[in-house]
Amino acid sequence: MSDAPELTLEEREATIGGIGTARKRKEDARFIRGKGNYVDDIKLPGMLHGDFVRSSHAHALIKSIDTEEALKVDGVLAVITAKDLEPLSLHWMPTLAGDMAAVLADKKVHFQNQEVAFVVAADRYAAADGVQRVDVEYEELPPLIDPKRALDDDAPVIRDDVAENDEVGQGSRHHPNHIFEWKVGDKEATDAAFETADIRIREEIAYPRCHPSPLETCGCVASMDAVNGKLTVYGTFQAPHVVRTVVSLITGLAESNIRIVSPDIGGGFGNKVGAYPGYVCAAAASIVTGHPVKWIESRIDNLSTTAFARDYHMTGELAADKDGKILAVRANVIADHGAFNTHAQPMKWPAGLFNIVTGSYNIPVGHVEVNGVFTNKAPGGVAYRCSFRVTEAAYLIERLVDILAQKTGIDKAEIRLRNFVQPEQFPYSSCLGWEYDSGDYPTALQTAMQAVDYAGLRKEQAEKRDKGELMGIGISTFTEIVGAGPVRNCDIVGLGMFDSCEIRVHPTGSVIARLGTKSQGQGHETTFAQIIATELGIPSDDITIEEGDTDTAPYGLGTYGSRSTPVAGAATARAARKIKDKAKKIAAHVLEASEDDLEWEVDRFRVAGSDISMKMKDIAMAAYSNVPDGLEHGLETTDYYNPPNFTYPFGAYICVVDIDRFTGDVKVRRFYALDDCGTRINPMVIDGQIHGGLAEAYGIAMGQEISYDETGNVLGASLMDYFLPTSVETPEWETDFTVTPCPHHPIGAKGIGESPNVGGVPAFTNAIVDAFAHHGVTHMPMPHTQAKVWQTLNELGLNK
Amino acid sequence: MPSKKISLTINGEAVEADVEARMLLIHFLREQLNITGPHIGCETSHCGACTVDLDGKSVKACTIFAVQADGGELLTVEGLANGAELHPLQEGFFQCHGLQCSFCTPGMLTRAYRLLQDNPNPSDEEIRMGLSGNLCRCTGYQNIVKAVRYAADKINQAEGAN
Amino acid sequence: MTPGVFEYHRPNKVEDVLALLAEFGDDGKVLAGGHSLVPMMKLRLAEPAHIIDINAIASLRGIREEEGMIVIGAATTQAEIMGSDLLNEKCRILPDAAALIADPQVRNCGTIGGNCANGDPGNDDPAIMLALNASYTLQNQAGQRQIAAREFYEAVYTTALAEDELLTEIHVPAPAKGTGMSYQKIKRKVGDYAIAAAAVTLSMSAGQCTDAAVALTNVGDTALLSLEAAEAIKGSAVDARAIDRAADAAMADCEPVEDMRGTVEYRTAMVGEMTRRAIAEALSRVAGS
């Protein structure tokens, strides 16, 4: 059983294409040929199309819905309203946050573009014709748009259905528009620290409402097989198994009679975690009509109804001594959740993991209070390319540290170095309750400073300031908390947030592995194969990864919050190790050696100190033909992994901007991003993730906002106004890395996809504010549109 | 419904069809002909996911009626490869990691194809300008620019060798 | 998003277009590039019963020079404007502006006639036509008339174009030697309408400005010609003080509204800044200066 000619160890490693290889993506073969299979590509026999009649008002009673004219339209088969769904108990649905959300508006509308009726027709043209002809009569009510007014005594009551309830799923509440109050930390000690501190800073910092806006909108095809009673739903689901369970809970169908399939997904970024009325209506329509029913969102529907993010109105405070050493942090947040509490967080965490607001800093005490409120806006509060509310927290602390630097006159890099959690402090218990797993923050920042010649940049800035030119240097040294998560902390509708991998090694040595996660562009078909390749010594090209079909994949909680690698990636490594353990027994049996004498060598077990070995490929065949007594045939296993802790990726970003003092135009001259995501599975994919996340961060910082006028009209919900940067606006990115492995993850990986969004946004703001720091400016509101930057220029008279 | 018979060439094949006047080219391709490479991303001609090549020009198929393509010659992403042989752009996107979720990729490739026809040796800035009608939410564009550069170099080398 | 039902017409001759326009009146809409009309139809904000596609009419396309006049067919696309050697040599403000309109694919469809005639104050070409003192050839079945761009625009989406008329040609007086021109536009991103934009033409002789025009985009119900701004630089050496006076005059003349692009104050300030930059660039482009 030996090769001829024998390859060297290095050559064998290279053949495998395992962890650390910049392997080209396996999924690209279909994508570059235009052969991806997205939900709108699915066409089933007899398929109908559904489209929504939407509310023109933000807050109004529905007096009547007249469907008569619509039903006369050629091709229109049905118009479904809340009344039609009520007998099926489908007119309201439970949310992931313990609230109820209207599927179709029931007696009143709560936000503009809310779903009022669902028109089912032969094709999308006829459906739109029908939508146009449904006549809805409204009686307008005063809208509540400003979340800071939500808890006023005279605020309009938005949710009559729960007005009298003591709670709406996340603890006690004290006003009809109040959703929850969430407090963490030691208030008394924090107050005391603030009272005696030499230096106190305080800033109101809003993170505006924005939207993930993946290029593919949400949609589904629901198909009820009336004969066998099985409902199949193809859709844009980042978490297909959760959808299956929720559908079962909503409809009462047995979970075994529900199949959820996520085909290729055109980007998610948090938009495709939740359950939307379109999914329910398509399923209901399929049940009612006996035909498959497709629903695909328009971009306007997408931006104005499904899954906004942020809308956090934060007040942050730091207490410090004269040397800039932070003594305490305090944060108070009004969280605008819109009309229904449909935010997507682990259920015990109404403000997500916002208490990571201590960031990368060793802060002795802190206190956080978050109050969630209803407003007449679209519901949501998803994590837009970040772990739950982590980007809001990172933005707050990174801004506050900059403000503290300005207040104390200490350089913005220096103040970070003075306050970092030190490498020897890990595992580090933060004052707000997290245990940071590993990190080396000083090395990251110092490496970044050297790479960009930080001292040189500051010198150039001083010279420019003398000439009246505006140049800003922004630093962000963020820490994330990702990989939700430990089941003791994290559940969704009661389901622990473990994840899973099933591996089957075929007799001839190739592999299929299935996971509970779902790639939306992250490249799972490539990277998860690399983990298995390294663990089993089987070439990654011989490993097929499948996700997204609940009939075949093991149960998992899906892909969001950078959890795929930390959780499902760990399950993958552990499943592979279980297989390897069995393989070792088989090898020992075939080689007639003791297991103790076998050692692993890239792709085979070798009898120590001999030239006798058995390759994994041959062991695979033996698993189906020649196993020792007492061992089952086959070579397959499943692992469900409950992570012992979150992972804590971190990074140091430096951004340099030049500002046109006459127009407010911000030019990003340079952006350097150093990331530490622990063990790096595929450097090419990691770089791609960072480029993309930074581009999103740039969009958020510079222009993305879903805003409303005072009557609740949603403004700018199309791609004319909503800022998705093109190749022309988007800056060039420089990437770099350090590697601090995660101590509790089987392969030491931490997750990368969201770091650039979390860390990028404050880097942009910090750079822009820094350009004005010598004029005493400490904060500027996002997004930093030309108009808003000009406002600052104008107030300071710098544009003359 | 008013409909019209149209005939056109799509990816080198003659196609005849009856279309309703209001049928948008993108729906005609995707739903009537099952050519699902071109995608619908915004419907307001901003994102470019629906980009196809019509009579030697890049156009957004979401904002053109199928009847307007009557008599035309149309190329979609499905027509870029020469049988099993990938177009250098397809190879470039693969080699340079110029795609992630890939929803924009068919439009991006089709647009880049025309860009290189019009300007075989574009600078990075010209590539960025040339692709400015195609949004990508995943890649941050950097690797797309690289991929187009890769393809331009490969095409130019091949032609230099001939 | 899908349009409502309509009947499609694709005439080969201008006369046939005019006959259809006469027949359908308000029920008919001319389809040129379609990138303003089709989105409106998809939103069902426009529901014409008849679409008259003019893209098959060769005589509506092309750019030529005759008798001191540059004549541009109304269905000439923005991409063709950008690529025109004649325009790049003699009237570069048009190709320069075209490069700032929408994106490459849209410029392959979008026409200069549509941009000039549909009455959207966000369009870029009207201000340029005002500055260039261009005129439009409007035809109906009764005949044709020539109307100055400066008399064409009435209000938002309201122009001198009658229901039964078609814009067929744009006549631009070929700029004299010694004329410099520039279009300066600030926008949020590729594809956006202007926050504010300024078109400037100016002629210099012996160090003095002998003629000038300043026009503004998207800061009023229509494109605006700022006579005061032009007066501020005429007769001057176009020094910094004259440029400031012109910018102030343009700011006084504009009437922007607050929208997603900025406040009235900001957009007004940008009128001033774009005017300044356009004058400075136009001056730098005066041949021999």
pLDDT tens for A238-279 read 999 999 999 998 889 999 999 999 999 999 999 999 899 999
Task: Please answer yes or no on whether A28 and B41 come within 8 Å at the CB atom.
Answer: no
**Whether residue C222 is found in the same domain as residue C277:** yes
Interface test with C, best of B25, B52, B68, B109 (most C CBs within 10 A): B68
pLDDT of residue A531 exceeding 60: yes
pLDDT of residue A169 exceeding 50: yes
Helix residue spans in chain C (DSSP H):
14-24, 37-42, 78-83, 85-90, 93-98, 104-109, 112-117, 125-132, 227-233, 240-253, 264-285
ipTM value for the complex: 0.98
Residues of A in contact with B94 (CB under 8 A): 24-25, 28-29, 32
Interface test with C, best of A786, A788, A795, A796 (most C CBs within 10 A): A786
**Identity of the residue in B20, B97, B141 whose CB atom sits nearest the CB atom of A730:** B141
Residues of A in contact with B49 (CB under 8 A): 215
Q: In sequence order, which residues have a C-beta less than 8 Å from that of residue C183 and are 6 or more positions away?
A: C93, C96, C97, C100, C124, C127, C128, C197, C198, C199, C200, C278
- CATH superfamily of the B3-79 domain: Beta-grasp domain (3.10.20.30)
pLDDT tens for A613-658 read 999 999 999 999 999 999 999 999 999 999 999 999 999 999 999 9
What local confidence, expressed as pLDDT, does residue C289 receive? 46
**Whether residue C12 is found in the same domain as residue C117:** no
Interface test with C, best of A721, A730, A793 (most C CBs within 10 A): A721
C-beta separation of A556 from A516 below 8 A = yes
Total CB pairs under 8 A between chain B and C = 86
For position C241, which CATH number holds?
3.30.390.50
pLDDT of residue C117 exceeding 50: yes
C-beta separation of A407 from A202 below 8 A = no
Task: Please answer yes or no on whether C35 and B68 come within 8 Å at the CB atom.
Answer: no
DSSP state of B87: P
**A31–chain C Cβ distance below 8 A for any pair:** no
Give a yes or no: residue C197 inside a domain: yes
Task: Please answer yes or no on whether B64 and C7 come within 8 Å at the CB atom.
Answer: no
pLDDT tens for A579-590 read 999 999 999 999
- Please say whether the dihedral angle defined by the alpha carbons of residues A367, A373, A377 and A381, taken in this order, is positive or negative: positive
For helices C264-285 and C240-253, the axis angle rounded to 10 degrees is 140
**B27–chain C Cβ distance below 8 A for any pair:** yes
Residues of A in contact with C103 (CB under 8 A): 726
Question: Smallest CA–CA separation between A782 and chain C, in Å?
Answer: 14
pLDDT of residue A707 exceeding 80: yes
Task: Please answer yes or no on whether B142 and A732 come within 8 Å at the CB atom.
Answer: yes
Q: In sequence order, which residues have a C-beta less than 8 Å from that of residue A439 and are 6 or more positions away?
A: A360, A421, A423, A426, A428, A479, A648, A650, A676, A740
Task: Please answer yes or no on whether A128 and C191 come within 8 Å at the CB atom.
Answer: no
Mean predicted confidence (pLDDT) in A178-193: 98
Mean predicted confidence (pLDDT) in B61-81: 98
- Interatomic CA distance for residues C80 and C95, integer angstroms: 9
Same fold, A44-141+217-265+273-305 and A395-484+645-796: no
Question: Smallest CA–CA separation between A22 and chain B, in Å?
Answer: 10
Residues of A in contact with B86 (CB under 8 A): 32-33
pLDDT tens for A270-289 read 999 989 999 999 999 999 99
Query: Residue A4 — pLDDT band, cuts 50, 70, 90?
Result: low
**Whether residue C24 is found in the same domain as residue C91:** no
What whole-number percentage of chain A has pLDDT above 70?
99
Give a yes or no: residue C130 inside a domain: yes
**Whether residue C38 is found in the same domain as residue C121:** no
Residues of C in contact with B65 (CB under 8 A): 8, 34, 38, 51
What single-letter amino acid sits at A593?
A
What single-letter amino acid sits at B2?
P
Residue of C nearest to A125 (CA): C2
Domain ranges of chain B: 3-79, 88-161
**β-strands B73-75, B57-60: how paired?**
unpaired
**β-strands A499-505, A636-641: how paired?**
antiparallel
**Whether residue C188 is found in the same domain as residue C282:** yes
What local confidence, expressed as pLDDT, does residue A233 receive? 98
**Identity of the residue in C2, C4, C188 whose CB atom sits nearest the CB atom of A723:** C188
Task: Please answer yes or no on whether C42 and B133 come within 8 Å at the CB atom.
Answer: no
Task: Please answer yes or no on whether C104 and B59 come within 8 Å at the CB atom.
Answer: no
What local confidence, expressed as pLDDT, does residue A716 receive? 86
Task: Please answer yes or no on whether C273 and A721 come within 8 Å at the CB atom.
Answer: no
- Interatomic CA distance for residues C267 and C259, integer angstroms: 10
**β-strands A258-261, A230-235: how paired?**
parallel
pLDDT tens for C46-100 read 999 999 999 999 999 999 999 999 999 999 999 999 999 999 999 999 999 999 9
pLDDT of residue A93 exceeding 80: yes
**Identity of the residue in C44, C189, C265 whose CB atom sits nearest the CB atom of A723:** C189
Element (H, E) at A131: helix A124-132
What local confidence, expressed as pLDDT, does residue B24 receive? 98
Residues of A in contact with C266 (CB under 8 A): 664, 786-787, 790-791, 794
Q: Could you tell me which of C76, C95, C98 has the C-alpha nearest to residue C85?
A: C95
User: What is the domain count for chain C?
Assistant: 3
pLDDT of residue A545 exceeding 60: yes
**Whether residue C169 is found in the same domain as residue C211:** no
Question: Smallest CA–CA separation between C79 and chain A, in Å?
Answer: 18
What local confidence, expressed as pLDDT, does residue C288 receive? 53
Residue of C nearest to A300 (CA): C1
- Is B88-161 assigned to CATH 3.30.465.10? no
**Whether residue C169 is found in the same domain as residue C214:** no
pLDDT of residue B14 exceeding 70: yes
pLDDT of residue A208 exceeding 80: yes
Neighbours of C167 (CB within 10 A): 26
pLDDT tens for A472-489 read 999 999 999 999 989 998
Residues of B in contact with A716 (CB under 8 A): none
Structure tokens at A671: 């952006």
Mean predicted confidence (pLDDT) in A124-144: 98
Question: Residues of B numbered 63-92 whose beta carbons fall under 8 angstroms of chain C's beta carbons: which are they?
Answer: 63-65, 67-68, 70
Residues of A in contact with B131 (CB under 8 A): 726-727
Mean predicted confidence (pLDDT) in C147-172: 98
Query: Would you please indicate which residues of A are annotated as catalytic (active-site) residues?
Result: 238, 385-386, 754
DSSP string, A301-348: HHHHHS-EEEEEEEEEEEEE-TT--EEEEEEEEEEE-TTS----S-TT
Helix residue spans in A197-292 (DSSP H):
240-251, 277-289
Q: Phi first, then psi: give them for residue A186, nearest 5 degrees.
A: -105, 100
**Identity of the residue in A298, A728, A790 whose CB atom sits nearest the CB atom of C190:** A728
Q: For domain A395-484+645-796, which CATH number applies: 3.30.420.40, 3.40.50.10490, 3.30.365.10, 3.30.930.10?
A: 3.30.365.10
Assign domain A9-35+499-641 to a CATH class: alpha beta
What local confidence, expressed as pLDDT, does residue A1 receive? 45
Query: Residue A2 — pLDDT band, cuts 50, 70, 90?
Result: very low
Task: Please answer yes or no on whether A728 and B30 come within 8 Å at the CB atom.
Answer: no
**Identity of the residue in C8, C35, C104 whose CB atom sits nearest the CB atom of B2:** C8
Task: Please answer yes or no on whether B133 and C6 come within 8 Å at the CB atom.
Answer: no
Task: Please answer yes or no on whether A214 and B86 come within 8 Å at the CB atom.
Answer: no
Task: Please answer yes or no on whether C269 and A794 come within 8 Å at the CB atom.
Answer: yes
pLDDT tens for C27-47 read 999 999 999 999 999 999 999
pTM above 0.90, yes or no: yes
Q: Could you tell me which of B104, A31, B125 has the C-alpha nearest to residue B149?
A: B125
Mean predicted confidence (pLDDT) in A685-692: 98
Residue B160: exposure state from Cβ atoms within 10 A (0-12, 13-18, ≥19): exposed
**C266–chain A Cβ distance below 8 A for any pair:** yes
The CATH number given to A44-141+217-265+273-305 is 3.90.1170.50
pLDDT of residue C18 exceeding 70: yes
Interface test with C, best of A113, A729, A785 (most C CBs within 10 A): A785
DSSP string, A347-367: TT-TTTTGGGTTTTB--SEEE
**Whether residue C191 is found in the same domain as residue C278:** yes
Residue of A nearest to C274 (CA): A663
What single-letter amino acid sits at A109?
V
**C1–chain A Cβ distance below 8 A for any pair:** yes
- Identify the chains in contact with B, defined as 3+ C-beta pairs within 8 A: A, C
Structure tokens at C149: 């761009």
**B57–chain C Cβ distance below 8 A for any pair:** yes
Domain residues for the domain of C42 are 7-53
**β-strands A365-373, A326-336: how paired?**
parallel
**E strands along A377-498, which residues?**
380-382, 428-429, 435-436, 470-479, 491-492, 495-496
What single-letter amino acid sits at A125?
Y
Degrees (nearest 5) of the Cα angle B70, B74, B80?
A: 170
Domain ranges of chain A: 9-35+499-641, 44-141+217-265+273-305, 395-484+645-796
Mean predicted confidence (pLDDT) in A146-172: 95
Residues of B in contact with C51 (CB under 8 A): 21, 65
Give a yes or no: residue C2 inside a domain: no
Query: Residue A347 — pLDDT band, cuts 50, 70, 90?
Result: confident
- Please say whether the dihedral angle defined by the alpha carbons of residues C7, C12, C17 and C23, taken in this order, is positive or negative: negative
